[in-house]
Chains A and B, each alone.
Chain A
């Protein structure tokens, strides 16, 4: 049975989404990038990808966990096609409206060029017919996929994933391959995969996944179930460490640069994780400590530091920078010690901005260079290698990895120590923690100071890497993105922070650095926003949550529900059950 109203609603939704993507100029700008040489451009991927997903969801219908779903291919295909048809109607009306009424004055992207980008560059009648045809087909395929067997579904999604991965990461693959001839085999000179390399990837993926996927998943399960001291687990860790040592040698300049940027955010994420994740203090001005680290290093090491210019070696400057960061942590921490959660948020945000504004100010220019920043910051002196800075990313990456390890170790020790438990208690309920004799003042200050010092690691590395500091690297957006990294990764979890940084900074890009998908640049924060909302709705505990944290989260939900629905009839078992 096809639910007509639902199908129609989803069709409207898909049409609206397609119109929106066109209206913000995404399709037009993404279409300049070819993914698979003659047949697929990036804009089309997003346009029809959106339709595809919506058609799939529409055809899947309401999910009822209790019943085994029973899909008939004809039915789901028809639903998908109908969604595609309704979406076309919306898009056609939209395209015609834009052609008829001149709205470019208000919406600069809604012009003929956009209509052309929606219609395979064909313009009104022919292009619209093509658009309709393509939409119905894509919708139908989306619908049909619902009814297919799970194995086939998996194979298709794997093939699509790998092909798109190779297509999107063209620059990176080319960089790694390093041989122009090989990359010319895979990619067409106009950009985009060659058709036959798509075929090869597809065959390889299907073959390899048929052959090895079972073993891989069982191995993964074995590892995650293994005891933390078991041989297997240790073996895996040893392998990861080995990979971390060898990998930078194999990666090209782009990926090493990316690794460094990701590592800097891992560092800051680990620091903020102590403040927010462990101690429960919402700090929205964390970038201030990053800035203290970076400017501290700059002043101490650069010959161009305006007044005070000791030109220290980076290693000598480092401990001084830590002390400065610790002092900054105390200065920020002490006034806010009595403030409740959200007052803390806005006050720390304020501190972050104050630090940036002061560093930029003409008043303190004699110390920090003001608008002109501090330039010519030397790299890090490493025995046998000489000066290592941003121009030698393949060495610098080791330096950042070492500091990530140190920060990870500090976090790990802190988490499982006396102070870590005090933080946990304080995070749960400050009054109770106080009542049972925890000194919340020193616990809070310690969290701020530790967090500040870890952020100053990142700052010191950043200075040496970029070789110049300007205040625009330290605006409030950075604070927010670090928080996002921590939350998306999984608050309170060290591995979560690392995963979060890789996914967000590595793939989408950081506030001032491109990620793997550098083409998204213009729309990076749009994707950030959408991902954040989606994550919080679907997986609020983050990608790799800490066990304790995720339990708290679900227990909160449970207790709330319990209060409202069950009238307090609620046991701890319910909470535990919800997480597993």
Chain B
């Protein structure tokens, strides 16, 4: 209540003060119903990064936070004001972690927007706070349909105004993978393995629905809990159902165990394995030789000459800068999404910011409206269009085939691409 009150105070009293101040400055600025941020002369525009940066899922979030920082550096100043990301916040890949971090963010009235979260579970609990305080949040890797919509025009159960994402909706990827396995590979019997994560389980469920609708059979829908190193039991369970293919949209540690140990389980020799974007990274494709032959569904990573229109940076340029700064390649493919998300936010800020002498006013309502309107924005991930529920992703899923354990070859080796109809 106090927060809301102080927000309204900012809106009402603040607006008065601003009007008073504006009389001196000469610009007539009036804040909308969500209030506004005023950046004083010599101060920075505050945005925040909220990703998972510790614990086992940090491989997902760290490249995203770094991409946010690189994007801010590439974008440069906005009307003479620096953009500051501050200390990278940690969503801990959990609801409570997301909520606690969101609390830290909303405590600072100067924050305009957030790039995050990494994990859908964290967004579920963070968004009510972010939304209530009038901020916007753009995620580079949340994919849960509940956060946006079912793509049929019905808002998801956890949708809140002010939420956007550049990552694709799970429903698209589930359908893409199912179509590929059933139509392209001609597999009628597929086993599914998730790891108990909301993301992976959501994806296997979406796959199951799409696959069964196509007329295929799911032989078993099982799970390899996070932290499992002994994959023999789950592989035996899968092998016992005689599948022709296995779809396992899980993460690197468990996928490595499965790839390395599948050779020891009789009956899996001829089975086709397919993973998703959780393992679509050099850490799996190059470091694990047994991943040869795997298919991967995920966002189209043939960024090629796709250039972010705000910064004129393409994938090659980004990766070179990343390597120079951090001595390694990104450990997850969502760096591009986080980069585009950041530039989207900065573009929108630039579009709505009102110059008032050396100060800058950013209206929160106008910022949301601006993001809602985004369409045809060219980013590294492709053309970005935001729908009514914040899904801004490129909505194109590709399937690649790993033949020679070279990451760049694999990402170029696209065997299937899928764009939802309509």
Contacts and interface: CB of A to CB of B under 8 A. Distances in A.
Interface of A: 32-33, 104, 108, 111, 113, 171, 174-175, 178, 180, 189, 249, 252-254, 257, 261, 304, 357, 360, 362, 370-373, 375-376, 385, 389-395, 462, 465-473, 512-514, 518-519, 521-522, 524
Given A470-B121, A472-B94, A514-B90, A521 B1 contact: no
A214 B191 CA distance: 74
B53 interface: yes
B108 A470 contact: no
A304 B43 contact: no
Contacts of B202: 371-372
Contacts of A472: 93-94, 121
A394 B2 contact: yes
B128 A175 contact: no
A472 B109 CA distance: 31
Contacts of A104: 327
B385 interface: no
A394 B44 contact: no
Contacts of B196: 360, 370-371, 471
A521 B100 CA distance: 13
B396 interface: no
B103 A468 contact: no
A370 to B, nearest CB: 7
A394 B107 CA distance: 12
Interface in B94-123: 94-97, 99-101, 103-104, 106-110, 121
Contact of A473 (B96, B101, B129): B96
B194 interface: yes
- A-B pairs, top 7 by smallest CB distance, nearest first, are A371-B201, A257-B103, A253-B107, A513-B100, A512-B96, A468-B95, A254-B107
B103 A253 contact: yes
B183 interface: no
Given A253-B106, A371-B202, A373-B121, A521 B90 contact: yes
A297 to B, nearest CB: 14
Contact of B100 (A108, A360, A512): A512
Given A371-B194, A468-B124, A473-B96, A391 B90 contact: no
16 contacts: A33-B87, A178-B6, A252-B107, A261-B100, A371-B197, A375-B124, A376-B158, A385-B1, A392-B3, A468-B125, A472-B94, A512-B100, A513-B96, A514-B101, A514-B104, A519-B87
B104 A254 contact: yes
Contacts of A257: 99-100, 103-104
Contact of B95 (A178, A362, A371, A469): A469
Interface size class of B (residues with CB under 8 A): 35 or more
Given A254-B104, A370-B201, A375-B124, A362 B221 contact: yes
B200 interface: yes
A469 B96 CA distance: 9
B94 A375 contact: no
Given A371-B201, A518-B87, A519-B87, A390 B97 contact: no
Given A180-B109, A375-B146, A472-B93, 8 more contacts: A171-B107, A171-B108, A261-B100, A371-B200, A373-B95, A465-B99, A468-B124, A514-B104
Given A371-B202, A470-B121, A519-B87, A395 B1 contact: yes
A289 B200 CA distance: 27
B327 A304 contact: no
B132 interface: yes
B217 interface: no
Contacts of A393: 103
A521 B54 contact: yes
B198 A373 contact: yes
Given A468-B125, A472-B93, A371 B53 contact: no
B101 A466 contact: no
A391 B125 CA distance: 9
B157 interface: yes
B201 A514 contact: no
B1 A392 contact: yes
A206 B223 CA distance: 62
Contacts of B129: 390-391
Nearest to A392: B1
A519 B92 CA distance: 14
Contacts of A391: 3, 128-129, 132
A18 B130 CA distance: 40
Given A360-B196, A519-B87, A466 B43 contact: no
B26 interface: no
A513 B95 contact: no
Interface string B186-206: 000000001011101110000
Nearest to A524: B54
Contact of A522 (B54, B107, B108, B328): B54
Contacts of B132: 391
B132 to A, nearest CB: 6
A404 to B, nearest CB: 18
A468 B121 contact: yes
A104 B40 CA distance: 43
A249 B1 CA distance: 11
A362 B223 contact: yes
Contact of B125 (A108, A189, A467, A524): A467
Interface in B1-48: 1-3, 6, 40, 42-44
Given A512-B96, A521-B54, A375 B157 contact: yes
Most buried by A among B104, B110, B132, B194: B104
Contacts of B89: 518
A552 to B, nearest CB: 36
Contacts of B54: 521-522, 524
A117 to B, nearest CB: 14
A229 B54 CA distance: 49
Nearest to A523: B54
Contacts of B282: none
B267 interface: no
A521 B103 CA distance: 16
A470 B96 CA distance: 9
Contacts of A370: 196, 201
A477 B79 CA distance: 48
B23 to A, nearest CB: 20
Given A253-B107, A376-B158, A522 B53 contact: yes
B149 to A, nearest CB: 15
Given A390-B125, A390-B129, A466 B96 contact: yes
B37 to A, nearest CB: 11
Most buried by A among B95, B108, B196, B198: B95
A513 to B, nearest CB: 4
Nearest to A303: B157
B199 to A, nearest CB: 9
A204 B99 CA distance: 37
Contacts of B146: 372, 375
Interface in B220-236: 221-223, 225
Contact of A390 (B2, B40, B107, B128): B128
Contacts of A371: 194, 196-198, 200-202
